[in-house]
Amino acid sequence: MIIVPEKVIPNLIDRTTSFKAVEAVFAAMSNGDAYNFPVIRENIGYADALYGFKSGFDKVGLSLGLKSGGYWPGNESKGLTNHQSTIFLFDADSGKVKAMVGGNYLTAMRTAASSSVSIKHLAREDAKILGMIGAGHQSAFQLRAAVEQRKFERILGWNRNSEKLSRLEAVAVELGLPFEEVSLDELGAQADVIISITSSFAPILKATQVKAGTHIACMGTDTKGKQKIEAALVAKATVFTDEIAQAITIGECQHAIADGSMTAERITEIGAVISGKHSGRTSADEITLFNGTGVGLQDLSVASDLVKLAVKSGDALEIEI
Ligand code: NAD
């Protein structure tokens, strides 16, 4: 079995590799070549943790496996990231375990790649202002990946605790972009693209706050009960997702489905846009919303590429089991 330790991963995987792997696997899902198995995600009743498994199989890329892990909200105070995960890959011909890969950095990279794929395919070409809701660990990764898709000139930020926005401001400064803390009203009125990445269980952004033509990437909602966006905004938008089954059960769409303001038939998988089966945005005034719930195949496809890079660079450890 090949082991790729967490500490070597940031030097091996880059945003381009992550983006290409995620874009390709979304297309494979839409073409019926790859599918995710049902997600297990449990509130384990200890340390406020959510823990579970995401898994799947890509018949073309031959990625088979699972990501095990979850979210420990108290970790940051101990100097650890709140997300903790490990990815296991299996040989699709024999079922033998192939690799064990640290999943923390990869989760952030594949999640950022997902919203970045949505911006590439759904945001207006002339988007200039990026609004960030949330300033936790994932947010900096989201910001770096997003700015590669459009010629953004300004970054706006909102977070429940204002002081945490220094994380995003530092990234914006490094990217040479002006950063401003704003109210949600200002953010919605100005931003051409909005990324929401918080752990909230109540709506933050309202339908009336968002201007026409905006693209919204809702990335934080990946569990039953979580919510960042008012259901009326989801119902008003043209909605895309990584996987419909997850969007309606654990994603941002669960609330609009539950209150009857939308149906699953109105949701399009982004893979259909990537593979040219759906035209994506159809007008400059349309609000497009990507509900990125995070699928196991994202982890498996990026991890498969990473294993090849680690073997090539000599960073992979190999053991007999
Ligand atoms: P983090 O703990 O580092 O940061 C959490 C952020 O959410 C902070 O900005 C915090 O201020 C904000 N927040 C928490 N509760 C809030 C509330 N009630 N109202 C408003 N803001 C609130 O977490 P992170 O690593 O940045 O991850 C953020 C979220 O994204 C998590 O919930 C995580 O489960 C989710 N996530 C989703 C995917 C995916 O693929 N969709 C992948 C990774 C993480």
Domain holding 262, by residue range, is: 124-294
Write down the mean pLDDT value for the chain. Answer: 96
200 Cα–ligand 1 center, Å? 7
314 Cα–ligand 1 center, Å? 34
Q: Is 118 inside a domain boundary? A: no
**Nearest CA among 111, 45, 42, 55 for reference residue 86:** 55
User: Structurally, how many domains does the chain consist of?
Assistant: 2
**Ligand 1 atom closest to 134 (CA):** 9
Domain shared by 84 and 163, yes or no = no
Q: Is 114 inside a domain boundary? A: no
Q: Is 84 inside a domain boundary? A: yes
| pLDDT attached to residue 81 | 87
Q: Is 73 inside a domain boundary? A: yes
Q: CA–CA separation, 198 vs 161, rounded Å?
A: 11
Q: CA–CA separation, 151 vs 241, rounded Å?
A: 24
Domain shared by 164 and 238, yes or no = yes
Q: Is 117 inside a domain boundary? A: no
Q: How confident is the model at residue 176 (pLDDT cuts 50, 70, 90)?
A: very high
| pLDDT attached to residue 223 | 81
Q: How far is CA 293 from CA 8, 54, 305, in A?
A: 27, 11, 22
Are the CB atoms for 199 and 71 separated by under 8 Å?
yes
Domain shared by 137 and 97, yes or no = no
Q: Is 119 inside a domain boundary? A: no
Q: How confident is the model at residue 79 (pLDDT cuts 50, 70, 90)?
A: very high
Domain shared by 262 and 307, yes or no = no
Domain shared by 81 and 138, yes or no = no
What residue's CA is closest to ligand 1, atom 42? 111
Q: Is 137 in the pocket of ligand 1 (CB under 6 A)?
A: yes
Which tens digits make up the pLDDT trace of 17-60?
A: 999 999 999 999 999 999 999 999 898 999 999 999 999 999 99
199 Cα–ligand 1 center, Å? 3
Complete DSSP assignment for 119-168 = HHHHS-TT--EEEEE--SHHHHHHHHHHTTTS---EEEEE-SSGGGGHHH
Q: Is 118 in the pocket of ligand 1 (CB under 6 A)?
A: no
Q: What is the dihedral of CA 120, 126, 131, 135, to 10 degrees?
A: 40
Count of CB atoms situated within 10 Å of the CB of 164: 14
Domain shared by 242 and 132, yes or no = yes
pTM score: 0.95
Strands 201-205 and 40-43: unpaired
Domain shared by 40 and 177, yes or no = no
Q: Is 204 inside a domain boundary? A: yes
Largest Cα–Cα separation, the chain: 58
pLDDT (average), residues 304-314: 97
pLDDT (average), residues 103-108: 96
Q: How far is CA 224 from CA 41, 138, 168, 220, 249, in A?
A: 9, 20, 28, 12, 7
Six-digit token string for 14 = 């880059």
Residues designated as active site: 67
Q: Is 304 inside a domain boundary? A: yes
Please tell me the least confidently modeled range out of 139-148, 176-185, 188-197, 249-258.
249-258
Are the CB atoms for 229 and 167 separated by under 8 Å?
no
| pLDDT attached to residue 239 | 98
Q: Which of 161, 165, 199, 252 to mutate to test the pocket of ligand 1 (most atoms within 8 A of CB)?
A: 199
Domain shared by 224 and 271, yes or no = yes
